[in-house]
Amino acid sequence: MLYLLLVLPNLALVIYTQDITTFLFSLIVLVYLYAILKTTRYNIILLPFVFIVPFHLYYIFLYHAVLSEQILSIVLETDLQEAWQFVGAKIYVFIALFFLWVMFCLYFCYKNFKHPKNWQHRSRYWILAVGFIHFSFMFFLQQQISRQIDQATEAQENFLVREKNGFLQDLKQTYPLGLIVSIYDLWIEQQKIQQAFQHNQKFKFNAQQIKNPTQKEVYILVIGETSRRSNWQLNGYVRGTNPQLSQQRHLVNFPNFLAISTETRTSIPVMLTRKPAQQVYQFNFNEKSILSAFKEAGFKTYWLSMQQQFGAFDTSTSVYAKEAEYMQFLNHTDYKNSGGLDTVLLPELTRIIQNDENKQFIVLHTLGSHYNYAHRYSKEFNHFRPSLTDISGYSLQDIKYKQELLNSYDNSILFTDQMLNGVIEALKKQNIVAFMLYSSDHGEDLFDQNCEQSGHGLRTVNNLEISGFAWYSDKYAQINPKKIAQLHHNASNRLNQKIIFPTLLDAADIYLPKDPLDKSMLKKLDVYPRFVLGGINYDTALKEGKCQEIR
């Protein structure tokens, strides 16, 4: 019976994907497992996987896909409060049903132990032999491909990597073996993050500032959160979500700006480093971040964050945050309730830019519009109603709350407008050479049109089309007229997050050997392929279905 329960996720996936091949493969794997155990008495080893079948089914029901290492990593970085809000008022029903499910599974495990069914027929030995040969061949083939990759040209390597990943992706579509592979891959990637941080300590950009500043310079990168392009007034949204930014002189909006990934964990490393967009899901990039480049050029570096401080599950973001000379996490509530608001950053930012330091580079990592949206703005910004602030027991995944979700999301954008305007005003008061670049990490779905999905981590247009802009001070414009002219000229181009690293360095006249910084917004910028999701050209990719999924 327990074997039949393990088939359920595979069967559910077939219904949505119409892929019978992986379903048959999953059945073969379960038959192999039964052949190895010989008896149902030892089915207790399957209990952990049977227990989590409901969670796997729920995820497949929502997203029509299996759990990958990327999704598992998001789970690790999600606290109990966040998960509770994700499910909503039905959480108690789910808990009750899960308790009944556990009792049901334990009962059948007990029955199997007391009255086991043994595989005595000699066909078991044939299955074992065939299984051993099959998996040995697959392992041998993987090793051969790995050796060929080491000796291949770049073009051959790309092909071989796709072939190798193809085997793994097919395997990951099965349950429970696919989940085991994904957990193992997550562990491997987490180790790579730690090893990369240790290895990168020896890396040098050999960065130099090619001018001698005679006045104070401040360069700021603001990392937004879950802020999609279409809900910004600056991008033509019908609601007035950017009343203050829209009045700022020297603000250059990017109306055609893309994220490279749909999740924070993988997008931010690309924003901060020279990592190619095609390697967005590979965490072992052997270079430091833009923080170290500025530090080498003589800048004092700062990292101010409203996001969770790194800890037991050290994130890919925190690896780079550690490069800053001064690091502070200002959201002390740890998301237990509503958490701190992004405007908490402003007093600390003001204090820093008033320091007696001639050159500063500052990263502000905000909470932006991270769910729960109602927790990202103060009560005076509860402008669009009815909002989530006005109700209780809601869920991000329940379409009946679509209007409340949208209104609270827009309220969070309205508050982001206030916060970002505060950053600009703080810089203006100092009357200094200043340049600021803002980019969201990814976007969000909000049950748009007839799409029945909400949230991020999805392969959709609204998850990838994000908000972004640059701002410069009067003094910066005075000494860099050519750069400013080029910035305005490039603003309407097709852009993605690969412009962030070169633009900020170019803004500060920082030189890197053998790097022309050719994707800088402050230079002539040629059209380039905008790769997303690990290597898909966004501008030529198909956008399919109600949710405009990228294929």
Residue 349: closest CA among 305, 286, 404, 402:
305
Q: What 3-state class would DSSP assign to 221?
A: strand
Nearest to 244 by CA among 252, 235, 234: 234
Q: Is the pLDDT of residue 254 over 80?
A: yes
Query: Length of the chain, please?
Result: 551
Phi/psi at 492 (5° precision): -90, 0
CA atoms within a 13 Å half-sphere pointing along the CA-CB vector of 386:
9
Q: What is the pLDDT of residues 399-453, one digit of tens each?
A: 999 999 999 999 999 999 999 999 999 999 999 999 999 999 999 999 998 898 8
* pLDDT exceeds cutoff 50 at 221: yes
Q: Please give the backbone phi and psi of residue 341, each rounded to the nearest 5 degrees, phi first.
A: -95, 155
Reported for 102-106, long-range contacts at CB under 8 A and 24+ positions apart, including other chains, are 102/51, 105/2, 105/5, 105/47, 105/50, 105/51, 106/47
HSE-CB at 318 with a 13 A cutoff on CA atoms is: 16
pLDDT reported for residue 480? 96
Tell me the β-bridge partners of 222. 364, 438
pLDDT in tens, 509-526: 999 999 999 999 999 999
Q: How confident is the model at residue 310 (pLDDT cuts 50, 70, 90)?
A: very low
Q: Rounded distance, CA 456 to CA 372, Å? A: 13
State the pTM of this model: 0.71
How do residues 389-402 score in pLDDT, each as one tens digit? 999 888 888 899 99
Handedness of CA 354, 251, 329, 324 (dihedral sign): negative
Q: Identify whether the C-beta of residue 283 lies closer than 8 Å to the C-beta of residue 484.
A: no
For the chain, the straight-line distance linking the first and the last C-alpha, in angstroms and rounded, comes to 38
Distance of alpha carbon 201 from alpha carbon 393, whole angstroms: 47
> Using an 8 Å Cβ cutoff, are 148 and 162 in contact?
no
pLDDT at 6 over 80: no
For the chain, give the mean pLDDT. 84
